[in-house]
Amino acid sequence: MEEMKKIKPGDSNHITREYFDSLLLEMRHLDGSLPDTKLELFGERFSTPVMTAALSHLDNVRENGMAVMAEGAHLADAVSWAGMGDEEELEKITGTGARTVKIIKPYKDNAYILKRIAHAEKCGAMAVGMDMDHAFSGNGSYDVVCGMEMRPKSAEELKEFVRATSLPFVVKGVLSVKDAVKCLEAGVKGIVVSHHHGIMDYAVPPLLILPEIVRAVQKQIPIFVDCGVESGADVFKALALGADAVCVGRALMDPLRENGAQGVRDKMVSLTEELAGVMARTGAPDLAHIDPSVIWKR
């Protein structure tokens, strides 16, 4: 028998998975109806609240992997997110027709950040943003990603980035009420509650802190959840606790590798169908009427 993989103490991805699985759902069948999974975001409509995550460097999964992933999202009538990559890659991504949120690293050089924001606008991205949680390495020094130096950004710098674009600006890597409030004050138009796939040990599971962030934000901006979403039930739990949509990354890797854009599309549709199944059996006619009281903590 194959030896089970040993889990490192403090593994945030394992903690997050355990928290997802600790949340149980009651059923509500009377007065039920067929559910509508449509999402309205930044003035546009999509068939699903399941979005791709802000991934990067997928050429080791499939040739032109980021563009192929975006094509799959477009086929699923879903939002595509794009992480670190050069200008040519972003042009290929948006060239698929996918409505894309471009996430930019917190580079040391703010002028370079502003240049990337301007390029995202030129490419027709639907929104732009930054993963603020990539400023430091695990040893407490500034992070270096693909040879490029990172730096933490102040609230004032964040305001500068927000003012630099006519696009909605989104901050990824929010895992505290304090940062969520600072994002609101800076004029940010959306946040991603995320620990960046376990970038720090013992990180709070996004769904555990999500209700506190939702209360602080008070529906002023959309809130997205990233990290560990693997099923339609996971999507439902995130939405029930206050998220507007979710980002899915690793669950799309094998479909991308095996069947390209069609594989990504099929997986996103499958997750949406699973979500619809849970909505139907919990009395939720649409995303806006998912009732958080159906959630029980084991």
Angle, alpha carbons 185-42-69 (nearest 5°): 110
Q: How far is CA 117 from CA 32, 121, 169, 264, 276, in A?
A: 45, 6, 10, 27, 36
- Find out whether 239 and 211 touch, Cβ atoms under 8 Å: no
Beta strands in 37-188 (DSSP E): 39-41, 44-46, 50-52, 80-82, 100-104, 127-131, 144-145, 148-149, 169-174
Report helix, strand or coil for 179.
helix
Ramachandran class of 50: left when φ > 0, alpha when ψ lies in -120 to 50, beta otherwise = beta
Residue with tokens 């068939």, as numbered in its chain: 47
Q: What CA–CA distance (Å, rounded) separates 152 from 142?
A: 8
Closest CA to 197 of 237, 253, 242: 253
Closest CA to 171 of 124, 77, 104, 216: 104
Q: What CA–CA distance (Å, rounded) separates 274 from 235?
A: 9
Report helix, strand or coil for 129.
strand
List the catalytic residue out of 74, 134, 196, 197: 196
Active site residue 196: yes
Provide the CB-side half-sphere exposure for 165 (13 A, CA): 29
Residue with tokens 């004032």, as numbered in its chain: 156
Name the residues annotated as catalytic. 196
